[in-house]
Amino acid sequence: MASNDIHLDYRIIYSIIEPDSRVLDLGCGEGDLLYPLVRDKHVRAQGIELDDKAIQECVKKGLSVFQDDIENSLREYPDHSFDYVILNQSMQEVKKVDLVIQEAMRIGNKVIVGFPNFAYIKSRLMLFFRGKSPITGSLPHLWFDTPNVRFLSITDFKNFCEEKNIRIVEAHYLGKKEVVHLCPNLLALNAIFVLTNNS
């Protein structure tokens, strides 16, 4: 995990989050994003993660984490419990996406969503010319062995936000090693959006 390209999404999210804020990371993995936030920015962090080994790694880093699945983990939190709720590379693994986003918006003042773009040019070419399910840098799994259950493009997500009356306050588009500015729905591997309620 040393090379910069792997950490591009972490670096962007890290830079978004204000010091001393309250952060909930849904699908926090081994805590590689939360740990530097806690150490450097003194955020009050809570992770949610299902994987046994990842939980142990989080605890080794001194992080607080609940072993639970994302869909069941949010109900008990009072409104505005967090400044940021992070759903980085975990939204596409959730079945009830609209429910999770709605709950995240309720308990967090801002929601940071990061997901792989299914409409990335390589995906389109693989599907169109080779007639095969896309395998890309951000969607590396074979069709029978993927944790993903939702496949969406950047345009899909923007439409979703519009329909649900969610305001996108920041958008970041990520290529292999750097940020993408041009035609993100075609050229970005991943997208990171910062969301708030329109009201």
Partner 1 sequence: MNKTKNEKNKNNSVGVVETQYYTFAELGRKHKLESGDTLGPITLAYETYGKLNKDKSNAILALHALSGDAHAAGVHKGQDDTGWWDNMIGPDKAFDTNRYFIICSNVIGGCKGSTGPSSPNPATGKPYALDFPFITVADMVHSQRHLIDFLGIDKLLCVAGASMGGMQVLQWVASFPDRVRSAIPIATALKHSPQQIAFNEVVRQSIMADPAWREGNYYEYGQPEKGLSVARMIGHITFMSDQSMEEKFSRRLKNDKFSFGFDADFEVEGYLRYRGANFVKRFDANSYLYITKAIDYFDLFGGKLIPHGKAINTRFLIISFKSDWLYPSHQSQEIVRALKRRHVDATYCELTSTYGHDAFLVEVVEQTTLIKHFLDKTFNGYMVVKNYGI
Binding positions for partner 1, rule: CB under 8 A:
7, 10-11, 14, 32-33, 35-36, 38-39, 44, 46, 52, 55-56, 58-68, 76-78, 81
* Dist CA 74 CA 184 (whole Å): 31
d(CA 151, CA 128): 17
3-class SS at 194?
A: strand
Nearer to partner 1, 85 or 119 (CB): 85
- Judge whether 120 and 152 are in contact, CB under 8 Å: no
What's 76's DSSP letter? T
Cβ nearer to partner 1, comparing 43 with 94: 43
Are 86 and 14 in contact by the 8 Å Cβ rule? The answer is no
Structure tokens at 24: 């909930």
Least spacing, CB of residue 88 vs partner 1, in Å: 13
Minimum Å gap between C-beta 82 and partner 1 is 9
Least distance (Å) between residue 21 CB and partner 1: 14
Residue 103 or residue 153: which is nearer to partner 1 going by CB? 103
Q: What's the closest the beta carbon of residue 150 comes to partner 1, in angstroms?
A: 26
Residue type, 57: E
Closer residue to partner 1, CB minimum distance, 108 or 134: 108
